[in-house]
Amino acid sequence: MNIVEVLTLIISLLALLVTYLVFKSNETPRIVIYATPHYGKETFIRLHVKNIGKGIAEKVVIKSSQPVPRRAFGITKLNQHLEFFESGILKHGIELIFPNQEYVYDWGQYGGLVEALNDKPITFEVSYKYRYPLSLWKSPVSDRSVINIRELEALPSTTGSLIEQIGKIHRELEQLNKQLPKVSK
């Protein structure tokens, strides 16, 4: 073998390795946990657990840096007894979570969650098993998500401003209805 054939072989093998690594990283699951305002229920905040990757995660276990509050309602402060998740996926995990599969909970309201979380960010560690392409066994994988409830401060879910906006629209429509008979004459 001459030097050109050896270099060609080495470059081909490196290109194959890079292609496999890109394929491998593109096919893995990625589970994130995040909070969003609930636009259908104005002051509610939703907790999402979602696989944003392209692979199937198995034997999913979710752990958190502090107990995860449940039904933490109250716009300015917690207005009922503090509850924590004692059942469901946050307690028992998930056997399988497919790509784009999502679990959504009405988590609470801004003031209630600030108080229930002691005004501290909550960190979620999600561990699961995944069989990489061309692998014979499942490997442990983990993802980390951090939710700082203060990031939702000043959104409609913290103030209830959507109700105020709807009320303003209602009042303006009533004024228009009163003026319509005058315009039609």
- What pLDDT, in 10s, does the model give residues 105-163? 999 988 899 999 999 999 999 999 998 777 788 889 999 999 999 888 876 655 555 56
Half-sphere exposure (Cβ direction) of 44: Cα atoms closer than 13 Å: 13
| Count of other CB atoms within 10 angstroms of residue 174 | 10
Distance CA 47, CA 106 (A): 6
**Strand segments (E) across the chain:** 31-37, 44-51, 57-64, 69-70, 83-84, 94-97, 102-109, 122-130, 139-147
- For 125, residues 6+ apart whose C-beta sits below 8 A from its C-beta are 62, 63, 64, 142, 143, 144
Task: Identify the sign of the CA torsion 91, 115, 122, 109.
Answer: positive
H or E segment to which residue 71 belongs = none
Distance CA 101, CA 52 (A): 8
Give the closest residue to 155 by CA, choosing from 34, 36, 49, 33. 36
- What pLDDT, in 10s, does the model give residues 84-105? 998 899 999 999 999 999 999 9
pLDDT higher for 167 or 55? Answer: 55
pLDDT given for residue 95 in this prediction: 95
pLDDT cut 70: percent of the chain above it: 88
Query: Residue 64 is encoded by which pair of tokens?
Result: 């958190």
| Count of other CB atoms within 10 angstroms of residue 134 | 8
- CATH code, 29-176: 2.60.40
Contacts by 135-139 with C-beta closer than 8 Å and gap 24+? 138/58
Delimit the domains of the chain by residue range.
29-176
- What pLDDT, in 10s, does the model give residues 138-152? 889 999 999 999 888
- Report the first-to-last Cα separation within the chain, whole angstroms: 99
